[in-house]
Amino acid sequence: MKISLIQMNSRQDKAANIAAAVELIDQAVAQERSDWIGLPECFDFLGGLQADKQEAAEILGEGPAYTAMQALARRHGIFIHAGSILEKIPGEDRLYNTTLVFDRTGRELARYRKIHMFDITAPDGTHYCESASFKPGDQVVTYRAEDFTFGCAICYDLRFPDLFQALAEKGADVIALPAAFTLLTGKDHWEVLCRARAIETETYFCAPAQTGLHKAGDATRASYGHSLVADPWGHVIARASDGVGIVSTRIARNAIDTMRVQIPVARHKVKLR
């Protein structure tokens, strides 16, 4: 399967973000002949205050980000793992941070709501409190795309290996983790964590990311970029640098199967007390 990761610099203009995603997907299909395309976290809207997020959020199935990705999947005959979008929750001030996946006919294959909330203090003293704006999901989600079972995760989920073990137990062959990793954490933790998750689950690990600057109120925040694909051995087989663009590679069923025969980790698990 030929896969492409889209690296974006989404900001607070939803229409412009969707247009940029459409243009990059069209480009990936034309240049790379992709079968599966992954977008980054919050590709439709990144930054702003809570009121801005609420205004940009969608009821699934009705909004412009959902319908644009559904139409693109159908038009190009590809799988689109639509990063994540802001999803309205009726009766709630908070939102879901939600991945949507469409098959080659435009049918919705899966939706995953980010489980782990990014409530941290960065090394420069910047405080992040994602739980003030977003409600965590509680479902472990996989879907089938031809010869592969894909597992879903988003950004800060990367730091919680139990989620990836749960995805492996549900049969994941490939894990997709759209992200908007911060520059300060990303430069030290991004690649090593992506490779670790690939190694311990013996899966391909596909991580499309945001890059560059965006505004959150009066603050300017930087995303790390460096979208990558790691193979089941933990080798990085495709990598973006800085800037908006596309990175592509092929994934192979036999690479997963060979790895799991050589090092049968799943069979060696024991329950610890």
Condensed to tens digits (0 to 9), the pLDDT of residues 208-235 reads 999 999 998 888 999 999 999 999 999 9
The residue-averaged pLDDT of 246-257 equals 97
The pLDDT of residue 169 is 96
Model confidence pLDDT, tens digit, residues 80-122: 999 999 999 999 999 999 999 999 999 999 999 999 999 999 8
Provide the token pair at 124: 């420069």
Catalytic residue, candidates 41, 58, 87, 202:
41
Exactly one of 152, 155, 194, 206 is catalytic; name it. 155
Mean per-residue pLDDT over the chain, rounded: 96
87 carries an active-site annotation: no
Q: Out of 114, 194, 202, 206, which one is annotated catalytic?
A: 114
Report residue 61: phi and psi, to 5°.
95, -10
pLDDT band for position 54 (50/70/90)? very high
CATH architecture of 2-268: 4-Layer Sandwich (3.60)
Active site residue 155: yes
**Where exactly are the structural domains of the chain?**
2-268
For tokens 């031809």, what's the residue? 146
pLDDT, position 131: 96
pTM of the model: 0.96
C-alpha triplet 239, 243, 247: angle, nearest 5°: 30
Q: What are phi and psi of 148, to 5 degrees?
A: -125, 145
C-alpha 70/C-alpha 64 separation (Å) is 10
Mean pLDDT of 28-44: 98
Annotated active-site residue 114? The verdict is yes
Give pLDDT tens digits for 113-124.
Answer: 999 999 999 888
